[in-house]
Amino acid sequence: MFKYCLECDWQRSTADGYTEKEVSEKAIEHFVETGHTVDSLRLPPPIVLQN
Ligand SMILES: [Zn+2]
């Protein structure tokens, strides 16, 4: 999951090591604190290398 702000350069992504829950919580926090609109993209699942 990738969430980003439409009004500033705020963003959080599960690709940065956050859980989906943390990304959602931080997005809500950002909205509450700033009133900015946060949009989200759902990323494809990470590729698991199989050896
Ligand atoms: Zn913002």
| CB-based contact 38:5 (threshold 8 Å) | yes
Tell me the pTM.
Answer: 0.75
Quick one: pLDDT at residue 5? 96
Distances (CA, A) of 33 to 15, 28, 36, 37, 45: 24, 9, 8, 11, 30
Look at residue 48 in the predicted model and tell me its pLDDT. 72
Whole-number pLDDT of residue 44: 66
Q: What average pLDDT does this structure show over 17-21?
A: 94
Note whether 2 and 40 are within 8 A (CB): yes
Report how far ligand 1's centroid is from the alpha carbon of 50 (Å): 38
**Mean pLDDT lowest among 19-23, 39-43, 44-48:** 44-48
Length of the chain: 51
Maximum distance among all alpha carbons in the chain? 46
For ligand 1, the distance from its centroid to the CA atom of residue 33, given in whole angstroms, is 9
**Distance, CA 49 to ligand 1 centroid (Å)?**
35
In this predicted structure, the answer to whether residue 45 has a pLDDT above a threshold of 90 is no
